[in-house]
């Protein structure tokens, strides 16, 4: 987990990622509403991508909502694309299966960005 802090140690956001199926899975990234629009999410995402690169992992994956704009659309603006179903490994499939127990999966998408 990486945390973004402001003055006085005020929490601005965080990202939680874990290795999964030889990729780095971004389980959660959040920025507090008052800190939105200041590039904090992009910085957190860049940090996570750097961790994947340093660890020799070829991609970052995530599962998110297709809408609203701060979910799927935001990640696509950051270079994420739909992950081919054939590339979803057993660990990520288990995450998606858990999501399916309480979320409408027609509103969700699995995205990834391959690292150079």
Superfamily of domain 2-114: Gcn5-related N-acetyltransferase (GNAT) (3.40.630.30)
- In total, the chain counts a number of residues equal to 116
Contact 59, 98 (CB under 8 A): no
Contact 61, 17 (CB under 8 A): no
For residue 6, what pLDDT band results from cuts at 50, 70 and 90?
confident
Mean pLDDT score, 15-34:
96
Q: Which residue has the tokens 């809408």?
A: 67
**Residue range 62-92, pLDDT digits in tens:** 999 999 988 999 999 999 999 999 999 999 9
């Amino acid at each position: 987990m990486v945390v973004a802090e402001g003055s006085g140690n005020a929490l601005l956001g965080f990202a939680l990622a874990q290795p999964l199926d030889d990729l780095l899975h971004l389980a959660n990234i959040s920025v507090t509403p008052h800190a939105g629009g200041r590039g904090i999410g992009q910085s957190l995402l860049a940090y996570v991508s750097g961790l994947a690169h340093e660890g020799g992992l070829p991609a970052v994956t995530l599962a998110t909502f297709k809408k609203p704009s701060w979910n799927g659309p935001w990640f696509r603006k950051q270079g994420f694309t739909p992950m081919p179903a054939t590339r979803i490994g057993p660990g990520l499939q288990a995450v998606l299966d858990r999501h399916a127990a309480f979320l409408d999966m027609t509103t969700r998408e699995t995205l990834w960005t391959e690292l150079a």
